[in-house]
Structure 1
């Protein structure tokens, strides 16, 4: 994975777009 955070599979399945993925990552970094 390219990011320092772990995204659970159930969460990853819910990320339908790149925009949502970015938003999830930005929130997770806070």
Structure 2
């Protein structure tokens, strides 16, 4: 059940990363 708690946090971090990359114009870090 831990995944359900981790997913939203990871999604938020992922969104922040995408937003930062979009603003910085940098390639996505995979």
Q: Verify same fold: TM over 0.5.
A: no
Which is higher, the Rg of structure 1 or of structure 2?
Answer: 2
* Higher helix residue share: 2
Higher relative contact order (CA 8 A, sep 6+): 1
